[in-house]
Amino acid sequence: MLNLGHRSERPIILFAILVHGITAWFSSGYYAADEHYQVIAFAQAKLGELPYASLPWEYQERMRTALLPVVAYGVIRTGRSLVSADAFLIAFLLRSLTAVFALLVMRRFVNVLRPRLSAPLRVPYVALSYLLWFLPYQHVRFSPETWSGLFLLLGLAGLLSASQRNRTWLVVGLSFGLCVLIKPAMLVACVGAVTWSLVVDRQRYTIVLRLLLGGLLALVIGLLADSWFYGEFTPTLWNYLHKNALSIARIQPLPVAVEPYPWFYYFPWIMKYGIWPIGTVLLSGLIWLTFRKPRSLIIWCIWPYLAMVSLVPHKELRFLFPLSDLAPAVLVLAWEELRNTAFFGRSSRPVQHALVASAWCLLLTNLIGLAIAGTTGAGSGSVRLAEQLGSETGSVNYDADDDLVWKIAIPTFYGGPVQPMERLQGLCAGSTDVVVSAGSFCSHVTVARVAAADPLWADAVLKAYGWRPEDRGWAAYRTIR
């Protein structure tokens, strides 16, 4: 029987299951291109449905683990045999699989951390762990960022386990190993966690051997998957680390153009894309917790990774996603440290009223974010457009230049054209086919909207907030005059 925890927490968990189910259904598509083109597209190629030459350059370099593509391959084949060949339903199964795993892992982590919190904060922590607005969205992404973050969380739960004698270090090492295989950059976070266990938690150094054995088991699993997928002995983790080391040393640049950002860019991104009230509190909580509780495992895990990705010129918001499940712990632990200060105990009634008002503001913000993230398509919404266009998907044109079309091109898995770059055509050309556009029209052309990536209300809110305008607001139009 499913353990739903304490009676006060059961409504939260049941509601969280409902929210995750709704989000898995509506959050079609992918946030970043790698979520599709380095996972599902890889599986398509293995199925013989896509030429290997059309895959990203990482395939030729053999530097992406096949773990997730192999799972996708199995789900696609099984789903088509037992359920349906519908691509949208298959993708929903992948999102649902991720959601189930995420809920189980989060439940494990919550059960370990919850007893360490003061009683008044336990229920809020449970609520945040499942319903902080961006977590259900993350929990349905069949992507390296989500799965590596979940394996990290599983390993951290092992490190924090209350039983000193019965810790399953092999499982912890296996979890960290899979985390690193799926997202090699997470090696820094895992090393930080293990270092905390040795330095702060004062575990014997003999645990390192058991952790390494678990990590070795993960490497074997990954090597088997990679060698089967690529058809030859393929150590993808070594290839990734080696080629990135050459790139960092400026010996052999990677074959991809990147836009560099200053080192501090992730900090304003956390505030903006966490939604300003919540994002600001989250970043402030992390800084406060760092100074008040520097020996926390959460701190030893977050800062090494955050420092590493900040120093790398190429930055993407998704690089922060593997740490997203630690956000509730940061918020609650920071609040607990604030409650322990003398200022909090002597705060006046107006200050307390302001804190209550702020809490209600944060709750309302979270509900709006939860509603948008749970009912809109992921990323540019191109897959949501494909759902609505049906048989017309393969003949759509794109009102975008060469640098932008890849963000809105509908993948072949969902019926899109094999070469979307060859189908560029603006609305001004008077095409009789459906045109995907962000709404740039010509005065002599009258069009009708036939599909939209986002609901009108969500589109209005996102535009008002300025949420990555280059990625949102896409719709499909047909020329009527």
Structure confidence by residue, pLDDT tens digits, 22-63? 999 999 999 999 999 999 999 999 999 999 988 999 999 999
Of 111, 126, 167, 317, residue with least CA distance to 175? 167
480 SS3 class: coil
Q: Give the rounded percent of residues in the chain with a pLDDT score beyond 90.
A: 67
87-144 tens-digit pLDDT: 999 999 999 999 999 999 999 999 999 999 999 999 999 999 999 999 999 999 999 9
C-beta separation of 418 from 54 below 8 A: yes
Higher pLDDT, 385 or 347: 385
Out of 331-335, 358-362, 464-468, pick the least confident: 464-468
64-92 tens-digit pLDDT: 999 999 999 999 999 999 989 999 999 99
Work out the average pLDDT over 407-411: 88
Residue 16 and residue 94: Cα distance in Å, rounded?
A: 19
Is pLDDT of 344 > 80?
no
- Give the pLDDT band (50/70/90) at residue 1: very low
Sign of CA dihedral 103, 104, 107, 108: negative
Which residue, chain included where needed, has tokens 């350059």? 57
pTM value surpassing 0.85: yes
238-284 tens-digit pLDDT: 999 888 887 776 777 777 666 789 999 999 999 999 999 999 999 99
Q: What is the pLDDT of residue 81?
A: 94
CA distances from 180 to 31, 45, 184, 225, 242 (A): 21, 24, 4, 15, 15
Out of 342-346, 348-352, 405-409, pick the least confident: 342-346
